[in-house]
Amino acid sequence: MRLCFLAVPLAALLAVSTAAAQSTAPASGASPPPALLGTPEPMAAHAVYFVMTDRFVNGDPSNDHREQGLPDHGTWGGRVPGAPAGKEDFVGYLGGDFRGLLDNAGYIRDLGFGAVWLTPIVEQPDEAFSGGTPAAWGKMFTDGGKSGYHGYWATNFYEIDEHLPSDGLDFRALTAGLRARGLKTVLDVVANHGSPSFTAPTQRDQFGKLFNEAGELVADHQNLPPRRLKPATNPLHAFYRTEPDIAELSNLDERNPAVVDYLVGSSLKWLGQGADALRLDTIKHMPLSFWKTYADRLRAEHPGLFMFGEAFTYDAAVLGAFTRPENGGISVLDFPLQEAMGEVFGTRDAGFEALVPALHLEGGPFANPYALMTFYDNHDMPRLDADDAGFINANHFLFTARGIPVVYQGSEIGFMRGTAEHAGNRNYFGQARIDAAPSNPIHAALKRIATLRANTPALQRGLQVNVLFEGDRAAFYRVLEHGGVAQTALVLLNKGDTAARFRIDALAQPGRWREAMGGGTRVLVAGEAFEAEVPANGAQVHLFERPLTAPALRSAAEAAARVYAAGAPPAP
């Protein structure tokens, strides 16, 4: 040992001791180099597959309840009127259930995902809504004639809707089954509202009502316009605010402690049955103070619980507020980046440079952008309007850039691309399409990049250092040196229709690089540029499995780490 040590040339010895002094014993008053990681959040390891359960797979026709609500307010099927020839969309149930989801857990896992987000599971009205504006082809957010197939119209936050479970497969068994197949469960919950609660020609059973765990009625809107509610004198109105909020949905009053108890108790119940994380609906319709209370109470029993909210806005400042610790430290769906991805990967084909501002790598309103949920479409907006190459390129970016990817069911084959709600966005995906999906080119490319992310900590948690975002080319590093892991990924993306050359010189790192999806290796010598050719609509990821030594790259990574060091959650 000693002989070996002495055999090292003096210059190298000096270099080693200098580096050691910098990393372990900073001069008094100087701040130590920051850990090189974007986020320590454990959920960042798991890309999320988003399932709208009723529209995924009908694994058990015996829970379809096809006669429910008949003759006048049936909940099954329900074609949206006005569809052009050959097109369809439905406002009623189509039969998807826990069995259909669990039957396909292996498919989701095999695609490279580590978690499933499923739409709310709680009891919905047993008939279609007879008030509101009738749903019509191409018109979003109209609820007339619609049923609660989507799960966002709770009447009992403590009970599972009858369309979802099967014999031997309740929610607890579902989460256990998903876990056994390598998938975490992200449960969608609503705190802002219950069901549509006024404008029906006559009051209908369940609409506007809320029941507790014992099945007792605790609130009733009585089909009254919000301003006619009398919460001060009528105990059944006390759960509701007297201002309308979203469409005809009841507007829960978070100022009433009984409402907060009701919501917290419900979330705790489902967490107790194996939900690993929560997705929070419509969070900007409730005050930040509510979310702080809610998060504190859940985390008192489930320390470190990961939650992400949906605030449908492209204003990063509004979104960022939810992520601050003083407001509950809740991650959010990254709508501004979603909007930019639509520009870049959709039919407009904007250059990669359009993505850079939304990444907020150099600062911004988020406590930490590395733990945001990134996506390019969902059930509440038109699906990504892109050709196969556009989807492939979108997934290449989504699974290599900062954030936790979320993919909406069907996107792996470009299903119903470009369509909005009431124009096909939520059409039934089904077992036949799933069985055929592996032969689709989008699916093949997604599986490749998602599997790489699942196996590559730097792509999950590493700092992002951009090198080039221009036209059809993007080049960036993801750097992770934390918790015993030292790994840097160099990501090269080409969304053009011809092969593209890359040359990284100023930020090159000498040493051994392995091409993660191609298998080749190269050893870069000091001063040599990293050069590569990436095929049309292609992605290359090269991995360096040691601490960085190139001063320019190391200092760029340290600068990136400092941007969010104060706001990042504590290291494990």
Which residue, 147 or 537, is less far from Ca ion as judged by CB?
A: 147
Shortest distance, position 154 Cβ to Ca ion, whole Å: 10
Cβ atoms of 317 and 324 within 8 Å: the answer is no
Which residue, 98 or 306, is less far from Ca ion as judged by CB?
A: 98
Shortest distance, position 418 Cβ to Ca ion, whole Å: 28
3-state helix, strand, coil in the chain (%, to 5): 30, 20, 45
Question: How many residues at the interface with Ca ion, by CB under 5 A?
Answer: 13
Site string for Ca ion, 161-200 (x = CB under 5 A): x------------------------------x--------
Half-sphere exposure of 387 (CA within 13 A, CB side): 8
- Nearest of 387, 348, 396 to residue 500 by alpha carbon: 396
Cβ atoms of 363 and 563 within 8 Å: the answer is yes
Cβ atoms of 31 and 558 within 8 Å: the answer is no
The stretch among 177-185, 244-252, 425-433, 528-536 that binds Ca ion (CB under 5 A) is 244-252
Shortest distance, position 129 Cβ to Ca ion, whole Å: 13
Which residue, 435 or 533, is less far from Ca ion as judged by CB?
A: 435
With b meaning 16 or more CB within 10 Å and e meaning fewer, what string describes 311-328? beeeebeebbbbbbeebb
The stretch among 6-14, 119-127, 227-235, 332-340 that binds Ca ion (CB under 5 A) is 119-127
Verify binding: residue 103, Ca ion, rule CB under 5 A: no
Verify binding: residue 424, Ca ion, rule CB under 5 A: no
Which residue, 169 or 183, is less far from Ca ion as judged by CB?
A: 169
**Scanning residues 126 to 145, which ones bind Ca ion (CB under 5 A)?**
126
**Scanning residues 267 to 296, which ones bind Ca ion (CB under 5 A)?**
285
* HEC assignment per residue over 9-42: CHHHHHHHHHHHHHHHCCCCCCCCCCCECCCCCH
Structure tokens at 392: 């492939």
Verify binding: residue 310, Ca ion, rule CB under 5 A: no
Q: Is 107 helix (H, G, I), strand (E, B) or coil?
A: helix
Shortest distance, position 194 Cβ to Ca ion, whole Å: 11
Site string for Ca ion, 338-377 (x = CB under 5 A): ----------------------------------------
Site string for Ca ion, 55-84 (x = CB under 5 A): ---x-x--xx--------------------
The stretch among 43-51, 96-104, 304-312, 397-405 that binds Ca ion (CB under 5 A) is 96-104
Q: How far apart are CA 510 and CA 524, in angstroms?
A: 5
Structure tokens at 38: 């974007």
The stretch among 176-184, 240-248, 310-318, 402-410 that binds Ca ion (CB under 5 A) is 240-248
Provide the 8-state DSSP code for 266: H
Shortest distance, position 429 Cβ to Ca ion, whole Å: 14
Verify binding: residue 104, Ca ion, rule CB under 5 A: no
Cβ atoms of 237 and 247 within 8 Å: the answer is no
Site string for Ca ion, 392-421 (x = CB under 5 A): ------------------------------
Residue with tokens 């052009």: 84
The stretch among 94-102, 218-226, 346-354, 488-496 that binds Ca ion (CB under 5 A) is 94-102
The stretch among 241-249, 518-526, 542-550, 562-570 that binds Ca ion (CB under 5 A) is 241-249
With b meaning 16 or more CB within 10 Å and e meaning fewer, what string describes 412-444? bbbbbbbbbbbbbbbbbbbeebbeebeebebbe
Shortest distance, position 118 Cβ to Ca ion, whole Å: 14
Structure tokens at 272: 């107790």
The torsion angles phi and psi of 101, rounded to 5 degrees, stand at -70, -50
Verify binding: residue 558, Ca ion, rule CB under 5 A: no
Q: How far apart are CA 103 and CA 181, in angstroms?
A: 10
Which residue, 185 or 251, is less far from Ca ion as judged by CB?
A: 251
Provide the 8-state DSSP code for 192: S
Which residue, 245 or 349, is less far from Ca ion as judged by CB?
A: 245
Q: Is 206 helix (H, G, I), strand (E, B) or coil?
A: coil
Find the distance separating the first CA and the last CA of the chain, reported in whole Å.
34
Strand ranges inside 254-339, DSSP E: 277-280, 306-309, 331-332
Which residue, 124 or 464, is less far from Ca ion as judged by CB?
A: 124
The torsion angles phi and psi of 478, rounded to 5 degrees, stand at -120, 120
User: How long, in residues, is the chain?
Assistant: 572
The stretch among 120-128, 220-228, 483-491, 507-515 that binds Ca ion (CB under 5 A) is 120-128
Among 251, 323, 368, 425, binds Ca ion (CB under 5 A): 251
Shortest distance, position 408 Cβ to Ca ion, whole Å: 21
Verify binding: residue 245, Ca ion, rule CB under 5 A: yes
What stretch of H or E contains 340?
helix 335-345
Which residue, 285 or 554, is less far from Ca ion as judged by CB?
A: 285
Which residue, 245 or 385, is less far from Ca ion as judged by CB?
A: 245
Which residue, 245 or 388, is less far from Ca ion as judged by CB?
A: 245
The stretch among 1-9, 51-59, 197-205, 311-319 that binds Ca ion (CB under 5 A) is 51-59
Among 54, 89, 97, 143, binds Ca ion (CB under 5 A): 97
Edge-first strand listing for the sheet containing 463-470: 463-470, 473-482, 485-494, 538-544, 511-515, 521-524
- Nearest of 86, 20, 97 to residue 55 by alpha carbon: 97
Q: How far apart are CA 156 and CA 122, in angstroms?
A: 6
Q: Which amino acid is at 108?
A: I
Among 69, 95, 114, 196, binds Ca ion (CB under 5 A): 95
Which residue, 63 or 456, is less far from Ca ion as judged by CB?
A: 63
Structure tokens at 257: 């402690």
Residues that bind Ca ion (CB under 5 A): 58, 60, 63-64, 95, 97, 124, 126, 161, 192, 245, 251, 285
